């Protein structure tokens, strides 16, 4: 398998050192007891930190369009034994209304098509009070990441969240290369 297609490229020691997943997840408000969805989980770089943050009492579901990614998640993530795994391309988001309290979408916002439909679906599967956090690549030249033409400006991402119904929408920089955008489903 070429390096580009190898799911394990997302689990490199360099990445763990550069951006420890628990440190980034810890910047956001995953709460004990939360039902968490890791949307576009890949091989699970953030999944274990998300599950830990939801403990005690929480639950984790992971979803990815790629069978190879889900297989790598099953083989390598410490969260695999506890997580519900789903292989599906969104949209639609294949869960019932109000199934989650927290949705995490890292490095995948720029891949969703059509993005407004995916965000409306994420809004639907969140319970009132539920939160969405997206992390993605900033529109600046970087060594890794998607082409600049695919990247979404954080201001535009924030508008997409608002249009999907999210409130308290905020975005901020994560270093020079990335940003987060978050919102809440209030009712």
Ligand X SMILES: C[S@@+](CC[C@H](N)C(=O)[O-])C[C@H]1O[C@@H](n2cnc3c(N)ncnc32)[C@H](O)[C@@H]1O
Summarize as ranges the residues that interact with ligand X (CB under 6 A): 10, 40-42, 45-46, 64-66, 69, 89-90, 106-108, 111-112
User: From the CB of 110, what's the least distance to ligand X, in Å?
Assistant: 9
User: From the CB of 68, what's the least distance to ligand X, in Å?
Assistant: 8
Task: Please count the other Cβ atoms lying within 10 Å of the Cβ belonging to residue 42.
Answer: 25
Which residue number, 27 or 168, has a Cβ lying nearer to ligand X? 27
User: From the CB of 187, what's the least distance to ligand X, in Å?
Assistant: 27
Which residue number, 12 or 129, has a Cβ lying nearer to ligand X? 12
| Cβ proximity of 154 and 131 under 8 Å | no
Residues 137/141/147/151 CA torsion (nearest 10 deg): 40
- The angle at the Cα of 11, spanning 8 to 13, to the nearest 5 degrees, equals 125
Residue 41 and residue 88: Cα distance in Å, rounded? Answer: 11
Which residue number, 4 or 176, has a Cβ lying nearer to ligand X? 4
Edge-first strand listing for the sheet containing 35-39: 84-87, 59-64, 35-39, 100-106, 126-137, 178-184, 167-174
Which residue number, 176 or 187, has a Cβ lying nearer to ligand X? 176
Position of minimal CB gap to ligand X: 42
Which residue number, 173 or 186, has a Cβ lying nearer to ligand X? 173
For residue 83, give the DSSP letter: -
User: From the CB of 146, what's the least distance to ligand X, in Å?
Assistant: 8
* Alpha-carbon radius of gyration of the chain: 15
Residue 79 and residue 84: Cα distance in Å, rounded? Answer: 10
User: From the CB of 59, what's the least distance to ligand X, in Å?
Assistant: 18
Which residue number, 40 or 183, has a Cβ lying nearer to ligand X? 40
For residue 15, give the DSSP letter: H
User: From the CB of 184, what's the least distance to ligand X, in Å?
Assistant: 21
């Amino acid at each position: 398998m070429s390096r580009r297609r190898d799911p394990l490229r997302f689990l490199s020691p360099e990445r763990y050192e550069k951006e420890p997943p628990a440190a980034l997840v810890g910047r956001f408000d995953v709460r004990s007891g939360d039902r968490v969805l890791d949307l576009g989980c890949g091989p699970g770089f953030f999944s274990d930190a998300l599950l830990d943050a939801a403990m005690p009492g929480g639950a984790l579901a992971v979803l990815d369009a790629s069978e190879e990614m889900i297989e790598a998640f099953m083989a390598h993530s410490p969260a695999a034994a506890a997580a519900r795994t789903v292989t599906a391309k969104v949209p639609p988001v294949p869960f019932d209304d109000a199934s989650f309290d927290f949705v995490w979408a890292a490095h995948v916002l720029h891949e969703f098509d059509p993005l407004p439909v995916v965000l409306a679906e994420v809004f639907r599967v969140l319970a009132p009070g539920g939160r969405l956090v997206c992390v993605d690549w900033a529109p600046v030249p970087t060594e890794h990441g998607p082409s600049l033409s695919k990247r979404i400006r954080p201001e535009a991402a924030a508008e997409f969240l608002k249009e999907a119904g999210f409130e308290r929408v905020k975005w901020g920089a994560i270093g020079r290369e990335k940003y987060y955008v978050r919102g809440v489903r209030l009712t």
